[in-house]
Structure 1
Amino acid sequence: MQPSKLRTGFTAAVLLILLAAALTACGGKGDPEPIGDPEKIVAVYQGGEVDEQEFNRYYYVDKFLFAAMHDYYEQIAPEEFKRHMLESYISFKILGERASEEISSRTEGEVDERMVQFEAELSADEAATQSWEEKSKEWGLQKDDIKQYILLQAKALNHVRSLITEERIQEIYHAALAENPHAYTTATVRHVLVAFEPEGGEPRSKEAALERAQEIKSLLERGEDFTEVAESYSDDPGSKNNGGRYEAVNVNNWVEPFKEAVLELDIGTISEPVETAYGYHVIQVEERVEPGLDELRDQLEGQAVDEYYKAFVNEELPALIEEIKL
């Protein structure tokens, strides 16, 4: 994935995660010297400009929160990545500047409240506090830079959310169901996998794997405990120590034969062995849920927000940026 494709969408859930991560990580003291020249303009866009120091505050807060991503892209494509970060910063500035006074005021209040809520937790996290103090000194950051980073994105997000109509939410919902009637179906299942190539074991022929799967089915039908059977026989490391259970998973996340079986099985029935590329599965469906629009509203709104933001970045933003001088 190229840096220009990174983080071109944002949702309320993501922003809350950012907020929690940031606030539990801050707590530096003193007044470090910011990196960058406030007189050097690194970007000009319609209606404003960005100086080097301003951008660096945003860039290094982001680096503190997403260190692994920065380490990766700063090695493979540093110039492209930094340009992408600057374009993202400008996009948030423009969208935030379009927010109404009511949205701006409300957003500032929300961020202030969350800062207060998390302030009490700072002293309890010694490791996070130490990390922040080290990085804030190195990069010239202050705790207020964390707040401004969050406020910038929150204001842009709340502005975009105000543009999402009920009609658009319904369009997304019905279009997805028209394309795939099970677009939103979730299921809770238990399964035992008999792998063709089990980790740390000898490969099995299809015949041997099928025979073992049929034996497992017989054990379960005789009333053996599914948890114990999964722990003893399953080759799926992701579920064998959890009773073979996957809870409330969107069925489209599974490979087609497994998905079809989950959709067709009667609740509580032990399936015949189901073949996939991984091996044979013995499956029991505990629950299937077809959520309605109201239950999916937050998810659909987030999808609409991401859709709007991506369109803005790809179609409108390039014409609004007049110059970048990194």
Structure 2
Amino acid sequence: MLHSNSKRRGFRWIKGLMIAFLTVSLLTACGQKQASEGQASGKVVATYKGGQVTEDQLNAFLGANKFFNMSPYYGMLESSPTFKKDMLDQYIAFQYLTAGASDEIKKNADQKSEDQMKSLKESINTNADNKKKFEDMLKELKITEKDLQEYMRVRFALSDMLDRKFPDDKLKEQYDKDIQADKQAYVDTATVDHILIALKDQNGKDLRTKEQALARAKEVEAKLKNNGDFAALAKEYSDDPGSKDNGGQYKEANIDSWVPEFRQAALDLPLNQISDPVETQFGYHIMKVEWRNSNKFEDVKSKVRDKLVQAYFSDFMQKDLPGIITKVDLPAETPTPAPSAADAPAKSDGQVKPQETASK
């Protein structure tokens, strides 16, 4: 069963991948030498204002990119028929954008990447098996240690550039604007205890009417407000199998995965106060919010920065990049089959979210 905020959650998932994809892509892109400098070899696969990209450069970028993204999700992206073109676009975008890095930024990035590579090698060399796995992985991806160091070098360079592009005063300006529009704009995580009085069981069979569910929820509410033990009452009354034996708790959970009514209550309820029955499509919830993440500027500054960075790159990719690329000559390829769901490792925190309660 699709929960009522599935579209929003799907957008957040796509946005998260987009941020990761942009971030990963930009790291190596600027670390490669410009083809116009005569340092690269191989067939030219793209030309843009200010330089060219060879097949060797692109393959080195793809290999280093994959080294740092060994996950089923990356495999799914890689299986897309437009993957290589998308990655080429990213490569060109960040070569172009970071071409003007200052000497100070480049020097700092050189030193940091050298230090990081040294630490990586020291860690790997302490174990013969790890050393062999590392070497085998480089061979499989057809990259070198230098490619990885370049990847890290550009990570530091770009991070420095973006810090300077979005100083604290700009971040605070954006934060104030967001908070004015929504005072809880940056609250996205909470620990919530709840007891669900459901209308249907896990198989969709009717358990009780709305009137019966509300009466039972009020009974639970009264017991809790009379100093009843939340965990014991959750075990006795809750129809949420994913949390009833855990005190009814969702610990430090992403509130945006919850149905709107439950999410809003998690935002609005005073801490450690028993709620009135909260109605959702699944029934009635008695809730207690134990913790919410901070909404203060200093605590969410990195989130504000991520928002501005994403907007900056999205705008550049959509409006500017098409006019920068002058020619693309990528060979047609058959996409690699995406890993099946059975191949992907299961990811579970052991919790059944409110939207999942009646969906199994």
1:49 aligns with 2:44: no
- 1:23-62 deviation digits (Å, cap 9, x = unpaired): xxxxxxxxxxxxxx93211111222211111110111232
- 1:85-138 deviation digits (Å, cap 9, x = unpaired): 111112222223221111111122222223333434325678765654444323
Distance in structure 1 (CA, Å) of the matches to 2:221 and 2:127: 49
Higher helix residue share: 1
Q: Is the 8 A contact 2:199 2:213 kept in 1?
A: yes
1:318 aligns with 2:322: yes
Distance in structure 2 (CA, Å) of the matches to 1:139 and 1:252: 37
What is the SS of the residue equivalent to 2:288? strand
What is the SS of the residue equivalent to 1:55? helix
Distance in structure 2 (CA, Å) of the matches to 1:122 and 1:216: 56
In structure 2, the residue matched to 1:23 is none
Instruction: Return closer, same or farther for 1:212/1:6 CA change in 2, 3 Å cut-off.
Output: closer
Unaligned 5+ segments in structure 1 are 20-36
The 5 A counterparts of 1:135-284 are 135-185=137-187, 187-199=190-202, 202-205=205-208, 206-231=210-235, 233-236=237-240, 239-240=243-244, 242-247=246-251, 254-284=258-288
Percent identical residues = 31
Task: Give the aligned residue type for 1:163.
Answer: K
- 1:147-205 deviation digits (Å, cap 9, x = unpaired): 22233344233323321144431332122123222212464431122333443684423
Q: Is the 8 A contact 2:193 2:250 kept in 1?
A: yes
Q: Is the 8 A contact 1:185 1:250 kept in 2?
A: no
Distance in structure 2 (CA, Å) of the matches to 1:156 and 1:56: 21
In structure 1, the residue matched to 2:111 is 109
1:293 aligns with 2:277: no
Q: Is the 8 A contact 1:257 1:274 kept in 2?
A: yes
In structure 1, the residue matched to 2:355 is none
Q: Is the 8 A contact 1:11 1:157 kept in 2?
A: no
1:62 aligns with 2:65: yes
What is the SS of the residue equivalent to 1:121? helix
Instruction: Return closer, same or farther for 1:151/1:237 CA change in 2, 3 Å cut-off.
Output: farther
The 5 A counterparts of 1:9-88 are 9=19, 38-64=41-67, 65-75=69-79, 77-78=80-81, 80-88=82-90
Q: Is the 8 A contact 2:43 2:55 kept in 1?
A: yes
Give how far 1:309 is off.
1.8
Give how far 1:292 is off.
2.4
- What TM-score, normalized by structure 2, do the two folds share? 0.70
- What TM-score, normalized by structure 1, do the two folds share? 0.76
Moved over 6 A (4+): 124-128
Distance in structure 1 (CA, Å) of the matches to 2:181 and 2:257: 16
Q: Is the 8 A contact 2:197 2:238 kept in 1?
A: yes
Supply the RMSD in Å over aligned alpha carbons: 3.6
Task: Give the aligned residue type for 2:319.
Answer: E
Task: Give the aligned residue type for 2:112.
Answer: E
Task: Give the aligned residue type for 2:261.
Answer: P
Unaligned 5+ segments in structure 2 are 1-9, 29-39, 331-360
